[in-house]
Structure 1
Amino acid sequence: MEKVSCTNLKEQVLKLQKEVPRTLGIDIVNVLSSYSRITGSTGLVKAVEGLKEGLENAGLPAKVYKVENNARRGFIETPTGWDPLEAELVIRIGEKVLGRFNLLEHPTLLSAHSPGGEGCGRLVVCERECSGEVVLTDLNPYDAYLSVDAKLILHYDKNRFHEAVPYTGLFLKASEVKQGKVVMNIPYRLATDLISRLLVNPSLEVEVCWKARVRFHTAGLPVLVSCGGRPTTLIVSHVCHPKPGAHDNASGSAANFLAAFAKGNLRDPSLGGVCHVWVPEYTGTVFLKDILGELPEHVVNLDMVGSKQSVTGSVLSVVNPPLFMPGRVASAMYVSARSVLDAVESFEGVHQPSIRYDISPYSAGSDHDVFITWGVDSGMLNEWPSKYYHTDMDTPDTISPSQLSNTAVIALLTSYVLSDPGLSERANKAYREYLAGWYSVKSTLTGVEAPSLGDLNSGYRRPTGLESPVSMRFIYKTLGRDTFYKLRKIKGAYSYLTVYAPVAESIGLKDHLSRYIREGLVEWSKEEAETLAKVWEELKAVVGW
């Protein structure tokens, strides 16, 4: 391929856009959304097999690898295999039905990996310590499953769309399965109605009847790989999540497929190092070292992209890796995003954004985290917030076919920019200057001291001894419930404890808590900062770092 220059970058955009079909992406989203793709389910296996068949029909290499159930890599454990077969829930006061749900209409009704069971019982409301036949709670579902004495746990979440049934997961190991103890989810609106009624009249009898049939198995977890050779740039997307799961993350999986399809049509030898991977989130990614045989140089993570922003309320973000890591993926992604998305003109003819997009400090919670713990230059394209995130209303009609195509073009264009050392250097320099200005403005608005970008990578060395991010479940099990619930209330604690601090500690970076506060523009109170510092010291002692 002719090396990309600033003068022909727009030509590359047009070239790529011609090879990305505008309707194929939404077709893939529709197909994937028809499967319940919970990690460990046979629905996930079938969805991945469908993607594999599509790749092969397009003349592209495709191979599915199996990750065993109940396996462990670093701090990440794979769950037992689980399929939801049937679930029903009826909530009534006397003859008046307040809520009626079934699995067919509300695929997120059952918490992932909930055991089966059935019965009827009186509802009680739980805040922290409680028991009863049926317990209504907003406790963490896994914690509630372990600590609450009940036959049915009804979970609600005020942070999800209030009219929708939220998605939650237990992700149990085989040894944790308690037959007959069921966990189901109900909308926040219904939960508040029930709580209000019981507050007004504590003696009120709210009857709940339920039935759930599930199947546990050991079919394993699928990882789909489409590589033409040595993986130089890897485009990864997690394909798991319950039905429908369109924005999260049938969208990223479809955009990844479009990128592979376009690459296949171009048949450009210089793109032979671009590798495409579809994984169960985290649980498949941590095994990619073994599957790929060697680590890529760059990783582009596509997680929740291509939505109709007027519906989801989202902003597309280029998510940076921690700033102490040297790398060029974020700069290449940002330049590529601007090249593709600045598609409208001002009155004076200046190119302007056609959708909402911005940059973001490092944020954990997706597959780029795994590569960052391995020291691989990684960034993410992600839309947030998302109105119907983790609910049964995350449907394909919230996805934009044209924006799926744009995401695929951005992902491939990122590879083009990275392939040209001169352009990559210019993009990186320009992006660093832009990033400094961005932080200066944000600092002015928030009052949080901006990070110094001058000595970011001084003394950097590749982290060692980290096989995976730290999981919050590990923190829950080792540091206890009280610490776990304290951390849930501190915004940014997850990103700091699971990835940022472990990687910084591994490379010998001092005072990384202060760095994280400045880098993430975190507005913690003194008490919250002290809590994080204390928890980190406790975690280090447990792990032996």
Structure 2
Amino acid sequence: MNKEEIIATVRFISQFHRARGSDEYKLLLERLKELLLSWGVEEQQIEIIDYPTGGVRYGNFDSTMVWNVKDAELWLEKPRTFLNSFKNCKTSVLFGSHSTNGWKTLELVDETYTGDLRDKAVLVQMNPSKAFKQFVEERGAKCLLVYYMRAQDESIKRTPTQMPDTVNYLSLPHTLKASQHGCYGFSLTYRQYEFLKDLANRKFKVRLFVDASLNTGTLQVLRVRFEGALKKKIGIVAHLCHPSPGANDNASGSALALYLCRELKQRRLDFGVDVILLPEFYGSLPYASQNSDYEFVINLDMVGEDQQKTGSTLILHETPPLLNTICDELLYDSLILFAPTSSDSLSRRFYRSTFKSGSDHSVFENYAVPSPFIGQWPDRYYHTSEDTPDKCDPEMFEWVGKAVLRAVELAHKVPDYVVEQALGRMKSFLRKVAGKPGSDIITSVVRKAHGEKIDPLEPKLRIFPAAEGPLGYEWFDRAGELSEKREIVNLGEVIQLAARYTQDYDATVTFASTYLNVDVKTTQDVIDLLLKNEFLKRVS
């Protein structure tokens, strides 16, 4: 593998501000198509698929508007002080910001201010979605100046005080409904936030403009198809969206997926392979609903991290055993085979884990497609202006790339020892649930997923998801104290999957709590919350 060429592709992709459906996103697709053609991929193998967005709902997700941003600047009015601009830092403008239609001069206030907010710039330190609801929807504000760092982790020096000049990638809600508020704003560094905090509510003003547009339109999925000798096929997916630079998240996965096209065109394949680049969730949801005939789909998301710089660990997130897990075992075996070593031990951090939500694999699994996820976590520079190509490690691309290719080539005839290992893990899980409520239904579903001919058992108290696709994020707003529990994100998605495939209340409780090692009471509380808010439905 030409590791340096993959890094060069990461650098190329990182130049583009990849808002889904935007002019710049479309331009990048055209350039990537040219790159594929230069590598000898035939034009008829390459397809760009359009899906409507803005005012369309996919599963539990309201699609976003197409956002095009040209320029933006933020200044303190007096004393005149430059704070940031879109040309200087692409993540400085809140994703989905509306145009200001020229320069605006607004009084600077913070979240404690109790007066009229319509002509104010509101300084906040909170999740912008929460700030949008509290200050825009409820109080009519038009401008938010936000500092908010997700996934803080002192062990990798990812805290506000340890990264005072980092600009976080943050978004405003920009669905069709949300865009009617005409809100705009900027993401601040922690140092800027502290500076402006001292000036808020003291008649100081900021001067700013945003040149952007929000429209309904389409978003694009790029698919490169390689035919195999057999009718069965495999998918390799990576999300291409996110702002510039977004090197590890996720130019890294996209660049590796593209390079794999170069390798695949030179190989005789038994199973066909589709390489799919798309906007995360919003592209995979409509795509998977129409293309669920894959044996499995490998999700490449944040695969390139230099672990010394980012503090990351490579992780294989497994498919829940509600679906066939043999492909996971094959991929794990391949990752171990090609792992870089030093003095007969791994020279990079690596482990496997249970299912984790948060990317496109959860979409495919909701459409009954096993989908192992390869990525790195945590990452000091995740969703920040400092997620740049110099944080990538060429060895990572070679390691993951070789493992994926081996898994693809052996998928039609998985080695017996790999099959035995997968079935052994499956049986071990079934022993853990034995005797618990709903275990008979779990056993039936899991064994059937692994190839046994078993008649399904009738659910006792039937529950099932209210919509196709993964659970999504809206339910967090209604989770109350539950939202403070760290396991809640993954628990919600596993509950959704268990309800989809077992369709039984007890089986869902037992599967989710046992698989994620979460207490039964918390699992029941989340299920009851989802039922109450009609994300799940119950039939007596």
Give the TM-score of the pair, scaled to structure 1.
0.81
CA offset digits 1:236-278 (Å, max 9, x no partner): 000000111101000000111121211112x3132x5122111
Q: State the AA in 1 paired with 2:381.
A: Y
Distance 1:542 1:505 in 2: 8
Change (3 A) 1:486 1:406: same
Distance 1:451 1:129 in 2: 55
Match of 2:47 among 45, 57, 63: 63
Give the SS at the match of 1:458. helix
CA shift at 1:189, angstroms? 3.9
Change (3 A) 1:403 1:544: same
Distance 1:525 1:207 in 2: 52
Match of 1:52 among 11, 30, 33: 33
Give the SS at the match of 2:293. coil
Distance 1:376 1:306 in 2: 25
CA shift at 1:493, angstroms? 1.7
Q: State the AA in 1 paired with 2:313.
A: V
Distance 1:246 1:175 in 2: 31
Q: Which residue of 2 aligns with 1:113?
A: 96
Distance 1:304 1:322 in 2: 21
Give identity over the alignment, percent. Answer: 23
Distance 1:538 1:151 in 2: 33
CA contact (8 A) 2:531 2:538 kept: no
Q: State the AA in 2 paired with 1:269.
A: L
Q: Which residue of 1 aligns with 2:489?
A: 494
Q: Which residue of 2 aligns with 1:144?
A: 131
Q: Which residue of 2 aligns with 1:191?
A: 193
Distance 1:217 1:174 in 2: 8
Distance 1:309 1:364 in 2: 22
Match of 1:376 among 363, 369, 376: 369
Counting only pairs closer than 5 Å after superposition, residues 382-421 of structure 1 correspond to structure 2 as 382-421=375-414
Match of 1:354 among 347, 367, 392: 347
Query: Bigger CA drift: 509-518 or 164-173?
Result: 509-518
Distance 1:180 1:69 in 2: 18
CA offset digits 1:175-221 (Å, max 9, x no partner): 432465212211234324544x36xxx86444322211102344411
Distance 2:134 2:245 in 1: 30
CA contact (8 A) 1:41 1:83 kept: yes
CA offset digits 1:156-181 (Å, max 9, x no partner): 11336533111122352334324652
Q: Which residue of 2 aligns with 1:321?
A: 319
Q: Confirm or deny that 1:345 pairs with 2:343.
A: yes
Change (3 A) 1:240 1:432: same
Change (3 A) 1:452 1:328: same
Q: Which residue of 1 aligns with 2:233?
A: 232
Counting only pairs closer than 5 Å after superposition, residues 441-456 of structure 1 correspond to structure 2 as 451=432
CA offset digits 1:322-352 (Å, max 9, x no partner): 2333321221111111011143333xxxxx2
Q: Which residue of 1 aligns with 2:167?
A: 165
Distance 2:426 2:112 in 1: 43
CA shift at 1:413, angstroms? 1.3
Distance 1:377 1:252 in 2: 19
Corresponding pairs, count: 490
CA contact (8 A) 1:158 1:188 kept: no
Distance 2:485 2:401 in 1: 34
CA shift at 1:154, angstroms? 1.3
Distance 1:525 1:84 in 2: 47
Q: Which residue of 2 aligns with 1:442?
A: none
CA contact (8 A) 2:21 2:219 kept: yes
Q: Which residue of 1 aligns with 2:85?
A: 102
CA shift at 1:525, angstroms? 11
CA shift at 1:487, angstroms? 4.7
CA contact (8 A) 1:246 1:395 kept: yes
CA shift at 1:515, angstroms? 3.6
Give the SS at the match of 1:30. helix
CA contact (8 A) 2:147 2:188 kept: yes
CA shift at 1:453, angstroms? 9.2
Give the SS at the match of 2:411. helix
Give the SS at the match of 2:186. strand
Q: State the AA in 2 paired with 1:26.
A: I
Q: Which residue of 2 aligns with 1:84?
A: 69
Q: Which residue of 2 aligns with 1:445?
A: none
CA shift at 1:470, angstroms? 1.9
Match of 1:516 among 499, 512, 515: 512
- CA RMSD in angstroms comes to 3.1
CA contact (8 A) 2:357 2:490 kept: yes
CA contact (8 A) 2:465 2:499 kept: no
Q: Which residue of 1 aligns with 2:453?
A: none
Unaligned runs of 5+ in 1: 1-19, 347-351, 440-449
Give the SS at the match of 1:519. helix
Q: Which residue of 2 aligns with 1:263?
A: 264
CA offset digits 1:422-448 (Å, max 9, x no partner): x1x4224335668999x9xxxxxxxxx
Query: Bigger CA drift: 224-233 or 169-178?
Result: 169-178
Give the SS at the match of 2:40. coil
Give the SS at the match of 1:68. strand
Q: State the AA in 2 paired with 1:274.
A: V
CA contact (8 A) 2:143 2:184 kept: yes
Distance 2:517 2:60 in 1: 28
Give the SS at the match of 1:224. strand
Give the TM-score of the pair, scaled to structure 2.
0.82
Counting only pairs closer than 5 Å after superposition, residues 181-330 of structure 1 correspond to structure 2 as 181-195=183-197, 197=198, 204-229=202-227, 230=231, 232-265=233-266, 267-270=267-270, 272-289=271-288, 292=291, 295-330=293-328
Change (3 A) 1:464 1:328: farther
CA contact (8 A) 1:141 1:155 kept: yes
Unaligned runs of 5+ in 2: 153-157, 450-463
Query: Bigger CA drift: 278-287 or 316-325?
Result: 316-325
Give the SS at the match of 2:352. strand
Q: State the AA in 1 paired with 2:515.
A: E
Give the SS at the match of 1:135. strand
CA offset digits 1:454-482 (Å, max 9, x no partner): 97961116799852112213x36xxxx4x
Give the SS at the match of 2:29. helix
Change (3 A) 1:542 1:362: closer
Q: Which residue of 2 aligns with 1:539?
A: 533
Distance 1:182 1:152 in 2: 5
Distance 1:386 1:129 in 2: 38
CA shift at 1:227, angstroms? 1.1
Q: Which residue of 2 aligns with 1:37?
A: 18
Q: State the AA in 1 paired with 2:322.
A: F
